[in-house]
Structure 1
Amino acid sequence: MGDTENTADRPDRPNNALQAALEGATAQSPPAPPDCPHCALPQDRYPTLYDGHWVLLEPRIFVPAHTVPPRRRWVLTPDGNAMNLWDAEPLPGTQCRIAHRMVCPYLEPEDRPLWATALRKENERKSQRLFNLPEDWNLPDTG
């Protein structure tokens, strides 16, 4: 009884690639290293619910979900995928992850809580250690 040949996206089903880009799920897939392409800091990389799209999450950072702005809260599903909670109101005590782009020192700051600004500054300090070695720095003599 319906047109089963029509496979065009409906307005209520957003394009996966566009939605993934809006949520920051733009990381390179394996076997590429899970490093930020902007600051080169290593991240936790997870597949998303958008086929073929991966997201870099800040490693070892779990924060109370109610302190993270809507559409910036990521949780891991039982099958190991990362899922953005969008506007869903978190239950009390819920912990979530944040995408690295929220605190990357080389990306334009987004709307974020005060703790995220502190984390961004810490990431900036870490990334400087990777690139800005003193000119007179040498490897220690091991012999």
Structure 2
Amino acid sequence: MGDTGNTAPGPDSTGHIYQALLEGAIAPRPPYPPDCPFCDLRQDRYRTHYADHWVLLEPRVIVPAHTVPPHDRWTITPDRRAMNLWDAEPLPGARCHIPHRLVCPYLRPGDFGLWITLHRQMNRDRMGRLFDLPEDGPSAVDH
């Protein structure tokens, strides 16, 4: 007779799905583009260690880990998967990626400090340059 009380849950168990959602691993899966569903900005998309869950990380942003709130520190493992460091204390000099949801201009901001607020504003400006076109379209040039 086997002891089923000591069996660890599988990678697609309800607990793992909940944890993936809690960490923000809600990115659209390939073949869909890695665009934020809220602001439409293109992001870096990484598979996580949760079965069939992906996360959007801010492109080209790797920052000192101690400047990022706990639970928002992501690292890329050797197998090219994103792993949330959760509340682990970063080692001195450690760097990490940040999730796009932390700096998305359409999501509710938290009190995370000046650089995150500035990065959110930078994304808002970037989004405006990409998507805010004149109401009347391009103006005609008189010759």
TM-score by length of 2: 0.87
Paired residues of 1:57 and 1:99 also in contact (CA < 8 A): yes
Deviation for aligned residue 1:64? 0.1
Deviation for aligned residue 1:5? 8.9
Query: What residue is the counterpart of 2:66 in the other structure?
Result: 66
Paired residues of 1:63 and 1:97 also in contact (CA < 8 A): yes
Aligned residue pairs, count: 139
Distance 1:139 1:62 in 2: 41
**Partner letter of residue 52 of structure 1?**
D
Paired residues of 1:102 and 1:109 also in contact (CA < 8 A): yes
Distance 1:121 1:72 in 2: 19
Query: What residue is the counterpart of 2:87 in the other structure?
Result: 87
Residue aligned with 1:59, SS:
strand
Percent identity over the alignment? Answer: 62
Deviation for aligned residue 1:14? 7.1
Query: What residue is the counterpart of 1:55 in the other structure?
Result: 55
Deviation for aligned residue 1:126? 1.0
Deviation for aligned residue 1:139? 8.8
Paired residues of 1:65 and 1:95 also in contact (CA < 8 A): yes
Unaligned runs of 5+ in 1: none
Distance 1:119 1:88 in 2: 24
Moved over 3 A (4+): 4-9
Matches within 5 A, 1:1-143: 2-4=2-4, 9=9, 15-138=15-138
**Partner letter of residue 134 of structure 2?**
P
Distance 1:107 1:69 in 2: 16
**Partner letter of residue 46 of structure 1?**
Y
Distance 2:139 2:44 in 1: 29
TM-score by length of 1: 0.87
Deviation for aligned residue 1:77? 0.1
Residue aligned with 2:59, SS:
coil
Deviation for aligned residue 1:130? 2.5
Paired residues of 1:69 and 1:113 also in contact (CA < 8 A): no
> Any idea what the Cα deviations from partners look like across 1:43-94, whole Å, max 9, x if unmatched?
0000001010000000000100001011110000000000000111111111
Root mean square deviation of aligned Cα: 2.6
Residue aligned with 2:56, SS:
strand
Unaligned runs of 5+ in 2: none
Distance 1:139 1:32 in 2: 34
